[in-house]
Structure 1
Amino acid sequence: MELAGRSRTPSGSRDPGRKTGTHLSEPVLAQVKNTVAGALEALSEDRSVVVTGAAGTGKSTAMAGILAGLGDRYSVLQLRGAASWAGKPFAGLFWLLSELPPETLSNPVYVLQYLRRVLKDKAAGRRLVLAIENVEDMDEATVAVLLQLCRTGSALMLATVRDLSACTGEFVRWWSEESVHREGLEPLRSGGTRVLLEGLAGGRVSNRLVVQVQARSRGNPLLSALFLREQMDAGTVVRRRGTWVWTGSVSYSGALAERMEAETGGLSTAERFAADVLAVCGALPVLLLLQVADPPAVERLEQDLLVSSGSAGTLRFKDPLLAEAAAALVPPGRAAEIRSRLAAVQSRQTAEYTRNPPHAADIAAVRAAVQEAGDLSRCGRWTEASAAARTGLELADRYGITGRQRRDLLSELFCVFLRCGELRHAADVLAQTDKAAEGMELRGGNDLCEGIVQVLGGRADRALDSLQRALAQFEEEGTGDLVPLAGTAAAYACVLLDDGDAARSYLSAAGPGTRQRREGANASSTDAGARSSDWETALTRSFSELCAVHGVSVPGDNGGFTAAVPSGTPRDLPTSMLVLTAAALHGRPGAAEELREAAAGCSGDSAQMYLELAEGLTARRPASLLRAAERAHSLGQYLTAYGAAGGAVRLAREQSDRARLRAARRLENASYRLLRAANSVADRLPELSDFERELALGAAAGKSSSQLAGGLHLSPRTVDWHLGRIFQKLRVSGRTELRECLEAERPRS
């Protein structure tokens, strides 16, 4: 049943994406899938559903998915609000009410009775669902009647709402009742945007591309899809090494230009000029804008939601993508005129605002804490460095530091936690960039930073994926300053994946030619100086040495160092520990003693881990190795945890220390499962035979050996023997650990 406003085409000139035909059904976003599932469950429980979310967040896709999931026992009446109907009573139902005499429309009771009778006949015994898009654009009388149908049990409502505050008071009160199931579609974070872009592009994308799209769309899925498709069509997003990367150019000649015209086509001359001012200059203080543009025109732009208030009393376009498209379409002569007029009316207040941005003292306090953390981390005082870094994070959150300043602070703190050996905290810092609605990358790029964290933790497959994305983006940008670091890290990842040929290829690519390009590229850039830091060089050197520890090098290496590392470079304490640890676990003579001497003057969990590891290896103490493995695992150093726990297993078995043997084996298995995606229990289950898989799942479900034996006509002892082999294949210590792994690895819908 489709009536009154049933068209699926958005109405109103302010809907983003109009005329573009952009849909999000492929790929369906996880949050949309969750919304569909939650709504269908609520409707099956005879509860109405309201889905809220800004334009472009996927409400229409969710509505379509919900309607497609309804069974034959439902009858659906589809309605759509329109701004032009808001002031006309029952305009949203005019097709249904067209047979009524006009004078009866003034009596809501009669209208309600008529609707209940008509809809009951059309439903033909099925449960009626009122599927309404954009409730806020419906007139008050229509909303009141539809709500009464729901309250009396005559129908269920499935509604989407862009702006709840624009709905009638009666609808808001009904929405807040317990009988209504509420679903909210939020703007995507960077991780969700990556999933969307990779689904649309049909392949992996670099984090630089994700950040650039996120900065323009602010997580709006519709705008993200629109922007990506236009750039792919224009060739401003290209594929390098199997990865879609950002070229730095932007096209606004197709659907984006059409969208801009749809948004601004009805503006008056004064409104158009005010919009052009914001397009050319970006966010402007309100007082400054009002001195250049017509105040009533600015007010009308705010009322039409074309512009919105920013921080510190500024105005800007409602979304960056619209602002960029508008700026690209302003003629050069008009842009020059606007800049000239702004320069003429620049006030002392604005100049003072520019010279002394707000929170200057707060930013200085955060910077001091972060600088202290960096200094402490370099000399091995990792307990104090970690505490100072956490203080810096807390202050940054407390003072609301955002934008480039927050990016710089997070970049420094990321390096601090890496030096301290706290990989989990470094990963947490990296994850904070995902919370920035406008998109954010740490210095060097999130793909590179993610790859470094993962490869240092021993998770080589995840690391290589990120590092390949980073190298593809660096190739497109033509910036070679970070290629040696990314290349040697990728080489080490390949070593851990037992691919020596690929590792040598990466090491060769990070040789002298790359270094020369690095020294010549971006020589005047302030970022280049930061990127070519001692820390970058030290990490590059360490990755080269880690490859050499595993017996992988290239011709011309100097003691395991690639030519990408300048000769005479001083040793770095934190990174030298990484190499000594790997060498000690591989049984290199004297490495454990050197590690103990180096860690003796340091503090913190990682220093204690190094000391316990050295003691366990030199004195053959399984207890020390087990403690080292536990600390390494808690720090996110899973490869070290796996090696130390494996050593503890061997020594505990030799010394008949059963208690430590069980604990060490459990930790060894847990670390092993984290090293590669294919090591997970869920991925290894298909490798079992049908018989073994049935036994494993039965044991995980809590069945005893006797219960399993009865169903298979075996003895409990035979079942235990088979389970022992199965647990060994899956790298779990028993039923409990198997159940925990399956629950933890279960896909989240």
Structure 2
Amino acid sequence: MADRWPFTGREAQLREIAALLRGPDGYGVVLAGAAGFGKSRLARAALAEAAERGAVTRWAAASSAARALPLGAFGALVTASDADPSLLLRRAAQALAAGTPPERLVIAVDDAHQLDDVSALLLHQLAVQRQARLLLTVRTGEPAPDLVTALWKDGYLQRVDLGPLPIEDTARLLDNVLGATVAEADIRRLWELTRGNVLYLRHLVTAEAAAGRLYADRGVWHWTGRPELPPGLTELVGAAMGELSPAEKAVTDLLALAEPLAVAVLAGLADPAAVEAAEQRGVVTVAVEDGELTARLAHPLYAEACRAALGTLRARRLRGAIAGALPGHDVLRRAVLLLDSDLDPDRDLFVAAGRQAAQLCDLNLSERLGRAGVAAGGGYAAQQLVTASLVGMARYERAEEEFAALIRLAASDDEVATAAVGQVLHLAFTAAQPLQAASALAEAERRVTAPRAASRLLAIRALLDGQGGRPQQAMASAEAALTGADVPDEAVLLGCSGLVIALGSAGRADEIQAVAQRALAAAAQSPELAFYAIPMTGLWTHGLVAAGYLGEAAAIAEEFRRTSGEMVFGREIATVLAGFVAMAQGRLGSALPLLRDARSALVPFGDAGGWGYTNLVLLAQAEAMAGDAAAASARLADAAAGRHATLGFLVPAEALARAWVLAATGAVSRARATAREAAAAAAAHGMAAYEVGALQAAVGFGDRDAAQRLAELSRLVQGPRVALAAAHAAALSGGDPARLDAAATAWEQAGELVAAADAAAQAAVLWAERGRHGSAAGAAARAHRIAASTGGLRTPALVAAARPLPVSEREREVITLAAAGLSNREIAERLFVSVRTVEGHVYRAGAKTGVSARARFRDLLEPP
């Protein structure tokens, strides 16, 4: 952390002050603002700027102590030795000027509202007689000498009012001070607590960093827990509040515990005259909110200071009094106050309030209220709050124990189903234990007979099958769960989610929208189930991308990103989806930052739902597409180490990422074979759309044997991608550069830039082989243009087109690996061939290219 905080956020005011000090109208500036808003820092910066352009500057600081002496603020600059006031002022002015022309003299006075009368008169004369340019700071809300006030009221000085430092500038300031970015949510918390007061912010940040509650993790600063005001900040806040009478202190204590409070409620708990007095002093603000006169403390830190000074017993008594005075409909606040009060617990209130807290996404509070409800005898309903909150906050260490308690408390079929759904989701997607999840689901199915409850269990089975890579079973379970006139909203959301991933993977993307819309409608009707819309949106996007509906997928991902900010885990998943779609489009310049940001943002959630694993697979592929083999290999290794056992539908995706990593290392034949393996894995599980994507990648890597299978799939799979991939494969298989040019055009029009660049690059190579060098140059230029638009694409086809060589594909592959520093033995192991075979390829490639030294292969392969 920087010792000296940099000047940040007041650049516009600094320019304004500089212009006013130079301008012909007026003879200076008054900076007005509350304590801690940076008036003194800004004045010093303005004075330094004036000195840089040749002004002679003076600095004086007024204070309550110096106010008792004539010219006390100027004691270090002038000597008050004359008894005659007129001589005293004249000599003081002369001492300040020291022969400097008025237009070059700038005198700054800090805290001018504390000037003594003689000093105020001196400033007034200097301004009226234009003997110097003046720069004063005054604190708003504090009385100032009449002659100081007259300086701006009579137009001699221009008044510039400083407001709180805006949140954007606060973020910039903290980035500079801490040397790294502060998490967006924590910037907002810090700003809301200090309200743009830089002095308060500095004390708070310094103390919280020293206490370890403000800490850096992976290059990002985070702030956790409640702040503890350090002594220096407590003194500043206390000085701002001033001396309060016992009755006024009662008002501020009540508001500190439960602001805002209706004035009628506050006046019933405290002395009404004290409420008025506190408002008059500026410690309390009163405004109409929701049609009711409402009181708040004037600054958030006032509440922190008051709470810190409250004794435990007094605080408990006051909370109880407030809880009893609040209206009955204020359920959440009454419950929170009751938790730490001297009143008896109310289990029904705790459960009702816990549900409200969960709907507001405050899961910490929901858990706390749930546990209070359990302790008060709230039974199943209270325990359900505890388990749901723990899972929602990714606090999994106690979840299984809490779910077991919930299952024991379940009495009706509905309660069993509710408990089982939560338990199965936790085991499957949080704990990544699909076998245990299946066992728990089977046990619940044995206990439940009521149709509505059974439909929820069928729906969760559909989701497990869909995400497990078993689309046909998922469709059957979903159909059974969703059939009927009285399907519960939870069954709709879970069943539709399973059906969406099943349809998307099986190649029936045209049927997805109606299913997804049904699920979102159910989520809108049941706000407590809204969080189910998060994975549903992800699965919908995945299905559209697999089919090649990239425009529609991008629109959904962008809308989800725009609306997900207030949802727990929503923003992080939205970032993954945005990166996924951008990668599918080939926009690596957008995809890579998004996926890297998501990796950092997902850390607090572990691998909840498998999103961490998913993101690593996507990031590995994107980095491989950009040619960063080392980074991609590391990401893929991390993904494989943390593979999510429940997400069987991603097995082809991980294999495809592995193919891209191999391609980035130069092992193109292995990349083709691995892409084929990904296609075979998808086909074996009926995931035809994923088979298309894997075969499309294999064609990009030069596979000439995929045309027949893609032609077959084009009669089975919905969406534009399969027909484009089939045409591309047929053109490459037939060695037809004109048809490859046409494929490149079609791919580019569809928004699939990777395939478009590869098709154009492959056309360039084939045109060159035919001696059509003009056509080859045109196709290569087109491939380069498309690749440049992606923000960093580098594929084997692009490399071959950029640097054509008179060697075979296998010879090029071998010398590419040799150029990367691999020995013949290492190349043989990488390509699954003998060392003698590698030696032969190296020899023949050297003979064809005229290169005798192995080290020169790198020069051959670098693009011109």
Q: Does 1:506 align with 2:638?
A: yes
- Measured against aligned partners, the alpha-carbon deviations of 1:425-447 in whole angstroms (never above 9, x if no partner) come to 967986899xxxxxx76532756
Residues 258/586 of structure 1: CA separation in 2 closer, same or farther (3 Å cut): farther
Tell me if the contact between 1:580 and 1:592 (Cα under 8 Å) persists in the aligned partners: yes
Residue 256 (structure 2) aligns with? 279
Structure 2 Cα separation of the partners of residues 586 and 627 of structure 1: 18
Partner of 1:466: 597
Aligned partners of 1:41, 1:305: CA distance in 2, in Å?
A: 34
Q: Does 1:26 align with 2:5?
A: yes
Q: Is the aligned partner of 1:64 residue 2:44?
A: yes
Give the CA deviation at 1:196. Answer: 3.9
Mapped partners of 1:660, 1:414: distance in 2? 38
Q: How does 1:295-314 map to 2 (within 5 A)?
A: 295-309=272-286, 311-312=289-290, 313=292, 314=294
- CA displacement at 1:269 relative to structure 2: 1.3
How far the C-alpha of 1:341 sits from its partner, in A, is: 1.4
Shift of 1:335: 1.7
Tell me the C-alpha RMSD between the 2 structures.
6.5
Deviation at 1:274?
A: 1.4
Structure 1 residues 302 and 428, CA gap change in structure 2 (3 angstroms) = farther
Amino acid at match of 1:272: K
Match of residue 550, structure 1, among 627, 645, 660: 660
Which residues in structure 2 correspond to 1:305-704 (within 5 Å)?
A: 305-309=282-286, 311-312=289-290, 313=292, 314-347=294-327, 442-444=567-569, 449-450=574-575, 453-454=578-579, 456-457=581-582, 458-459=588-589, 462-463=593-594, 465-474=596-605, 483-492=612-621, 495=624, 497-498=628-629, 499-512=631-644, 544=654, 547-551=657-661, 589=706, 620=739, 625=744, 641=753, 644=756, 647-648=759-760, 656=775, 665=784, 668-672=787-791
Alignment check: 8 A CA contact 1:25 1:61 kept: no
Letter of the 1:187 partner, please give it. P
Q: Does 1:74 align with 2:55?
A: yes
Who is 2:427 aligned against? none
By how many angstroms is 1:503 displaced? 1.2
Mapping for residues 169-184 of structure 1, pairs under 5 Å: 171=152, 174=155
Contact 2:72 2:119 in 1 (8 A): yes
Distance 1:594 1:59 in 2: 74
User: For the Cα contact (< 8 Å) 2:675–2:697, is it kept in 1?
Assistant: no
Task: Provide the residue aligned with 1:532 in structure 2.
Answer: none
Structure 2: gaps of 5 or more residues = 335-348, 350-358, 360-492, 522-526, 545-550, 583-587, 663-669, 732-738, 768-773, 795-861
Tell me what 1:270 maps to: 247
1:204: Cα distance to partner? 5.2
2:167 to 182, 185, 188: 188
Distance in structure 2 (CA, Å) of the matches to 1:289 and 1:628:
68
CA distance in 2, matches of 1:166, 1:659: 78
**CA distance 1:597–1:52, change in 2 (3 Å):** farther
AA in 2 matched with 1:75: V
- After TM superposition, give the deviation of residue 237 of structure 1 in Å: 3.6
Per-residue deviation, 1:538: 11
Helix, strand or coil at the partner of 1:130: strand
Distance in 1, Cα, partners of 2:163 & 2:307 = 33
Whole-Å separation in 2 of the counterparts to 1:169 and 1:631: 70
CA distance in 2, matches of 1:140, 1:413: 72
Taking a change above 3 Å as real, the CA distance of residues 288 and 581 of structure 1, as seen in their structure-2 partners, is farther
Residue identity matched to 1:550: W
Taking structure 1 as the reference length, what is the TM-score of the superposition?
Answer: 0.55
Alpha-carbon deviation of 1:230? 1.8
Change (3 A) 1:611 1:127: farther
Aligned CA distance change for structure 1 residues 148 and 594 (closer, same or farther; 3 Å): farther
Summarize deviations over 1:19-70 as a string: whole Å, max 9, x none.
xxx99843443x3456556755775677856767665454443333333443
CA contact (8 A) 2:164 2:196 kept: no
The one-letter code matched in structure 2 to 1:339 is: R
Label 1:613 to 1:500 Cα distance change in 2 as closer, same or farther (>3 A): same
Does the aligned pair in 2 maintain the 1:448–1:470 contact within 8 Å? no
Distance 2:99 2:603 in 1: 59
Rounded Cα–Cα distance in structure 1 between residues aligned with 2:688 and 2:141: 56
* Alpha-carbon distance in 2 for matches of 1:226, 1:594: 69
Q: 1:73 to 1:211 in 2, by over 3 A?
A: closer
Whether the 8 Å CA contact 1:444–1:482 is kept in 2: the answer is: no
Q: Aligned-pair distance for 1:486?
A: 4.9
Paired residue type of 1:344: G
What's the offset of the Cα at 1:329?
4.2
Aligned residues of 1:40 and 1:66 also touching (Cα < 8 A): yes
What whole-Å deviation, never above 9, does each CA across 1:60-107 have from its counterpart, x for those lacking one? Answer: 4333333344327212233557699999999977986956768769xx
SS at match of 1:511: coil
Query: CA shift at 1:502, angstroms?
Result: 1.6
* Residue deviations 1:234-278 (CA, integer Å, cap 9, x gap): 233445456544444644465554555445562221222211112
Structure 2: distance between partners of 1:423 and 1:87: 70
Query: Greater CA radius of gyration, 1 or 2?
Result: 2
CA contact (8 A) 2:37 2:197 kept: yes
Cα shift readout 1:527-566 (whole Å, capped 9, x = no counterpart): xxxxxxxxxx79978974662452479xx999769x9x9x
Structure 1, 312-321 or 79-88: larger mean CA deviation:
79-88
The answer to whether the 8 A contact 2:561-2:571 is kept is yes
SS in 2 for 1:26: coil
> Residue 105 of structure 2: SS of its match in structure 1?
strand
User: Identity of paired residues, percent?
Assistant: 21
CA spacing shift, 1:121–1:256, aligned 2, 3 Å:
closer
Give how far 1:337 is off.
0.9
Partner of residue 415, structure 2: none
How far apart, CA to CA, are the structure 1 residues paired with 2:324 and 2:242?
29
Deviation track 1:458-478 (CA, whole Å, cap 9, x = no partner) reads 246634652453254346xx9
CA distance, structure 2, for counterparts of residue 214 and residue 414 of structure 1: 33
**CA 307–412 in structure 1, closer or farther in 2 if over 3 Å, else same:** farther
Question: Within 1, Cα distance between the matches of 2:760 and 2:154?
Answer: 63
User: 1:291 is aligned with what amino acid?
Assistant: G
Amino acid at match of 1:511: R
Higher RCO (CA-CA < 8 Å; seq separation 6+): 1
More helix by share: 2
Q: Cα 1:344–1:546, aligned 2, differ >3 Å: closer, same or farther?
A: same
Given that residues 207 and 445 in structure 1 are in contact (C-alpha distance below 8 angstroms), is that contact kept between their aligned partners in structure 2? Answer: no
Instruction: Find the counterpart in structure 2 of residue 8 from structure 1.
Output: none
Aligned residues: 565
What SS does the corresponding residue of 1:186 show, helix, strand or coil? coil
Amino acid at match of 2:637: S
CA distance in 1, matches of 2:232, 2:110: 24
| CA 23–491 in structure 1, closer or farther in 2 if over 3 Å, else same | closer
Q: In structure 1, what is the equivalent of residue 473 of structure 2? A: none
Pick closer, same or farther for the CA change 1:118–1:204 going to 2, 3 Å: closer
Contact 1:53 1:161 in 2 (8 A): yes
Aligned AA (2:660) = H
Name the amino acid aligned to 1:466: D
1:242-281 counterparts in 2 under 5 A? Answer: 243-248=220-225, 250-252=227-229, 255-263=232-240, 266-281=243-258
1:414 Cα shift?
9.7
Distance in 2 between residues matched to 1:227 and 1:53, nearest whole Å: 20
Instruction: With the length of structure 2 as denominator, give the TM-score of the two structures.
Output: 0.49
| Letter of the 1:76 counterpart | T
Q: State the alpha-carbon separation in 1 of the partners of residues 238 and 222 from structure 2.
A: 28
